Structure 1
Amino acid sequence: MTDHTPSSRSAARATRPVRTKALSALVHGICLSLLVGTVAPAWAQFKASPAVSPRIPGNRSLSTELKIEGMQATTDYILAVVNQEPITHTDVDKRVARITDTAPAGSRLPPPEELRQQVLDALIDEKVQISHAKTIGMDISDQELDASIENIAAQNQMTLEDLRNRMQSDGLDFQRYRNSLREQMLLQRLRDREVNSRIQITEDELTTFMKEDPAAQAEVALNVAHILIAVPEKATQVQVAALLSKAQAIQERAAQGANFAQLAKDNSADTKTKDQGGALGLRPASRLPELFVATTTKLKVGQVAPVVRSNAGFHIIKLIERENSAQATYTQQRARHILLRTSPQQPAREQIDRMNDIRKQIVGGQTSFAQMARQYSEDGSGARGGDLGWAAPGQFVPEFEKALTALQPGQISEPVVSRYGVHLIQLIERREVQLTEQQQREAARSVLRERRFEPTYEEWARELRAAAWIEMRDAP
């Protein structure tokens, strides 16, 4: 996202269309790992495919989820050299450990040696791309890196000193963390610029696409719930038959009207959704597994599909809601905010304390939100009392959007840290709005762009890799 001046665009906004498909998450095995994006788990990237590393997420932003991982003691040696940069046995070990640690119960990973080879291929691609970024003069400045680390620490309720101390107590190297984070930010920026610039969609292509492809005319959004009966990787035929029988029995109960949410809580092996009754929430069809979309195509809302099989096991799937963006309304939100920008001289922790004082005065009735915005906000909206106007989904940066969505009209958030600084947010009102013809075209453009991103990325990555100097080495 370009950092527009306050007079041209609020610092809370993100330049994204109304509906976009979040791309596969990029998972990196660094000592202090940052999950990039929220869509695909680390284990999901590995399958029979060309040796191309995973893509960056659609919102192009680093998550603030902070995970400290312990150091692994091992005898190290070099497995590959990419343009004079080594990839070691330990590098691969850490990435493999990250993937296996985040794989959900019942998921199937490749055999250990195949997994290690795929991880090595992904690391080679990253080294090649980082080398290319440096060759064309792309870099992440120290100031930008410092601001990102400061904001990440603040969103995890830590000061920068707290972060350093925690890493030190866990035997981790802060400088190595900085270097790793710089590389991930650089990869993100490079892929965003070079891959997207290759995808050109003309108006004629878009018109033809909308006329000829039903799925692209208006992207369908689905709310699907499922129950996973996991099948172990080395299950015998007898075990598989027993698990199928169990799944069919649950499906029959669900189809006859039993409480699906309770069945999911009692039986589902998907730990990420079982506590929500198996529901995935309303998502564009392009962000759902193809199996789920295909299974629900002929279902009416409220119906339960016959049992289907995936690599993870057997699924009982229920269609909770279907929305077609050609006819549907979407939710607009009108909010106001106060922004205190962060800097080395004004770190996030200090700005959070200032914002808490401001919030206390507003909530206590000593002043109004609009008055404090005019007095303190460092965003162009401050002159309007912080009013951001009506906004569609996806127009704000993720941290801001998440906090805003959780509010009820009139409520004021706690301080929220984003890449732009510290925000205080008040939701004014919400409304449902019909999609315009232009918004329908933009939704279709997003679908077409997403379909083209994967092959475009893979072609670009292969070209870079073919031009790189890569030396593979045998283990001692």
Structure 2
Amino acid sequence: MYGPNAMHRPGRAAVGVLLTLALVLASTAAPAAQTLDRIVAVVNEDVILESELEAELNRVRQRMQSQNRRPPPRDALVNQVMDQLIMERLQLAQAERMGITVDDNTLNAAVRRIAQQNNMNLQQFRRAVTRQGMDFARFREDLRRDIRLQRLRQQQVQQRVDISSRDIEEFLESRAGRADDTEFRVSHILVSVPGTAEPEAIDEARSRAEELMQRLREGDEKFARVAAEVSDAEDALEGGDLGWRQAGELPSMFQDQVLNLSPGELAGPIRSSSGFHIVKLEDTRAADPEIVEQTRARHILIRPNEVVSDADARVRLEDLRNRIQQGESFAELARAHSDDQGTASEGGDLGWTSPGELDPDFQEAMDQLAPGEVSQPFRTRFGWHIVQVEERREHDSTQERRRARAAQQLRQRRSEETVQSWLQQLRDDAYVDVRLDQ
């Protein structure tokens, strides 16, 4: 991630439903008994209490210890955790303004998925959480918060990210596109620069980044420890680790530099809209062979407008779904009712599609269906849908596989950069008063 204003990988305030049990338990441990509280930060109209900060510090320490990583000095850790809490509050306030909620049915499904991922049924999972000394109701509410923030970020991405055929062609012809058989393990440090920074502040940040670069080149310190201590990125406490990525998934601001590095080498400082980056190529490996699972599906789209409300669209689709369940033809109903002019005449047929070709929300809903199953109504940026999966197949056409992978990589990278820019603006526009020294 790229700073207090940056992209957010799965973690405390991201995709909670993808966490393993160990990480979930580490990130939701109950805080110890609190003494007299005080305000340690004001964030617009909200506050952060000292008890909240200490509880999160404890959770972060536990997580780092479980990963055999030594936490940075307390002052550095406090600053990092405070930044994370501030950005979480800003995002939750934005979700509230946008009316983004997570109902109990969605939350229950997410809990069941986490239990299944840990090879437990719901009762076993609940007992496992309770054995760790945690309140299961609090665990659920933490998960609800994470899903809510995930949805907020998805909405920001959906409004701004679109991958065209031309984008894919240009990428496949680029150096990164030709390196799609290699994966890169990259770590980074960010010295952030606010979007409204004066030239003197920019020069100061550049000098700080240059000093860090010199410190890393001349010293024996581990990159991960320095990142955890000084980086302004959201992934600082993970040692700046971006994980294994294909070339097209590398952030565009330092993609070319990474492709020129050998494992163990550094590059930087590299200027971006967020500040100055230092990157290290940890390692490379051959990408695993990939067989694309394609899906053939039909859908019916109802677009809300001045006459048709969201509620009306959903009710209409529920009625159509009931008729399909009672034996009516999905294709005939799509021809008669779908607002998607491109597919209505074909009975809603989307043809064979590969991952990354469809809207992410549509793809997610479709991926949860078994062949023959019809979804419940769901919303994307295009309107309300129901979708029926007809069949799936594994497809190994080299060119199509490269195009599908390119679309996924481009969407991943642009999504992260879009969230980065949005979070930067969210932080720049906020009133934040940190009172740690008071």
Calculate the TM-score normalised by the size of structure 1: 0.46
